[in-house]
Amino acid sequence: MTKSQLQSLAKKHGTPLVIIDHDVLRRNYAEFKRHLPDVQCYFAVKANCEPAIIRTFYKCGASFDVASMPEFMMVYENIKKLSPKAQQDFIWDKIIYANPTKPKETLLALDKYKPLVTYDNATELQKIKKYAPHAGVVLRLRVDNTGSQCELSSKFGCATGEAVDLIEAAFQLGLVVEGLSFHVGSQCTNFQNFVQALNAAAAVMRESKARGHELKILDIGGGFPAPYNKHVRPFRELAKVINAEIKRLFAPDIQILAEPGRFLVATAATSVARVIGKAVRDGKQCYYINDSVYHTFSGIIFDHCQYPLQAFKSGKKELCAIFGQTCDGLDTISQSEHLPPLDIEDLVYAENIGAYSNASATFFNGFPPAKVIHINE
């Protein structure tokens, strides 16, 4: 989007504003499929749960990774609107419930759909058997997350040494283990995480087959890095590594899934905010904008991510701090931006803010989240 387009939209809709460009969503999906053509793409809805995004990706051919019952129903209802004649069987092709820990209420609600769900321990298996006996299950492995922006392995995944025992335990309960899954950590720039995880999964599959249980599915999770800056290596390089390992380690009939979230949506959104205050503190110029880390910039807190702010006006840039609109000292967007001198009512914008931003916004301090608009749907 050009600066003039952003300014025009801000004038029309007001600020704070999040603008999601569906042309970019489609381009990102096409890039994923171009470089990983044999991998079925399950968009991780938690990255940005806007229904319009779900509809666009469904039209592109995507499936969906959900982690809560509301996410499941959002995907289900939007698919049904687009494909009214779709039968319940589409659940297996279009939705995986990839949260390894589920309350009984969720399992009870899911069971009638006969879904595919993940687990990583014996207690979860017992719950699934009791409350969702018609589910197919996928065992999540714990793998290395070194170098990833958000680490997940301390919370999810079983040790590889106990994996086959957990597979056998599921079959003994009368459940069917369809496959394995893993997650190398969000925004993974260490490609060796994928190499090590794929090798670990292959070893578990071989041992499981030797003990009488051949698995059909491998879910390689998410972690595909968004190009936030020039230091992030191109996706095609990661895809080349993944394709080579899959070809070397797995039989051609293994169904490979992936759960990209950030990669698909991060670059598709831009935020626009308005300067509502300014002051000089300890010799540094400070600006206050009508957005915050409790709203569009929530990724600063929850996602360990930074979103460099840019100005629409020109001028010699100076070091400054940017604060959000809430009455909390934590609400600091940046202590080291470089912007030209700004006045009250001037606009600023941040690009590549489509992942884990408006999706995790709150109503803290009484301020509503930014208005989200969609273009090029």
Question: Please, what is the angle between helix 160-172 and helix 122-131, to 10°?
Answer: 20
Provide mean pLDDT across the span 149-178: 93
Q: Quickly state the pLDDT bin for 87 (edges 50, 70, 90).
A: low
Provide mean pLDDT across the span 249-277: 97
Share of the chain above pLDDT 90, in %: 90
Taking the C-alpha atoms of residue 170 and residue 252, their distance in angstroms, rounded to an integer, is: 25
Please give the mean pLDDT across all residues of the chain: 95
- C-alpha closest to that of 354 among 43, 42, 7: 43
Contact 238, 313 (CB under 8 A): no
Q: Quickly state the pLDDT bin for 150 (edges 50, 70, 90).
A: confident
Number of domains in the chain: 2
Pair of tokens at residue 263: 């990669």
**What domain range is 294 assigned to?**
3-17+267-375
Domain termination site, one of 208, 236, 265: 265
Q: Quickly state the pLDDT bin for 88 (edges 50, 70, 90).
A: low
pLDDT at residue 89 in the model: 59
Q: State the pTM of this model.
A: 0.95
Inform me whether the pLDDT recorded for 86 exceeds 70. no
58, 164: one domain: yes
pLDDT at residue 149 in the model: 82
Pair of tokens at residue 18: 């999040």
Q: How far is CA 178 from CA 20, 171, 226, 249, 254, in A?
A: 36, 10, 30, 18, 11
- C-alpha closest to that of 170 among 180, 185, 182: 180
pLDDT at residue 93 in the model: 78
284, 324: one domain: yes
pLDDT at residue 299 in the model: 95
pLDDT in tens, 310-320: 999 999 999 99
240, 293: one domain: no
Angle at 119 between CA 127 and CA 253, to 5 degrees: 130
Provide mean pLDDT across the span 22-48: 97
Inform me whether the pLDDT recorded for 278 exceeds 80. yes
167, 316: one domain: no
Residue 131: other Cβ atoms inside 10 A: 18
Share of the chain above pLDDT 70, in %: 98
211, 199: one domain: yes
286, 243: one domain: no
Taking the C-alpha atoms of residue 218 and residue 92, their distance in angstroms, rounded to an integer, is: 14
Provide mean pLDDT across the span 77-106: 84
Residue 318: other Cβ atoms inside 10 A: 13
235, 280: one domain: no
Domain termination site, one of 215, 240, 265: 265
pLDDT at residue 146 in the model: 84
Element (H, E) at 243: helix 235-249
- C-alpha closest to that of 29 among 218, 266, 237: 266
pLDDT at residue 295 in the model: 98
Provide mean pLDDT across the span 102-121: 96
Calculate Rg over the CA atoms of the chain.
22
Taking the C-alpha atoms of residue 312 and residue 131, their distance in angstroms, rounded to an integer, is: 55
Q: Which residue shows structure tokens 């509503």?
A: 368
CATH code for the domain of 367: 2.40.37.10
Domain termination site, one of 265, 296, 315: 265
pLDDT at residue 90 in the model: 61
175, 215: one domain: yes
pLDDT in tens, 187-204: 988 999 999 999 999 999
Q: Which residues belong to the active site? A: 327
Provide mean pLDDT across the span 15-41: 98
67, 211: one domain: yes
Taking the C-alpha atoms of residue 62 and residue 284, their distance in angstroms, rounded to an integer, is: 47
Say whether 16 sits in a helix, a strand or coil: coil
Pair of tokens at residue 254: 């293994």
CATH code for the domain of 199: 3.20.20.10
Taking the C-alpha atoms of residue 347 and residue 276, their distance in angstroms, rounded to an integer, is: 10
135, 278: one domain: no
Q: Quickly state the pLDDT bin for 151 (edges 50, 70, 90).
A: confident
135, 186: one domain: yes
Element (H, E) at 214: none
pLDDT at residue 189 in the model: 87
271, 243: one domain: no
Q: How far is CA 203 from CA 139, 206, 215, 321, in A?
A: 14, 5, 12, 50
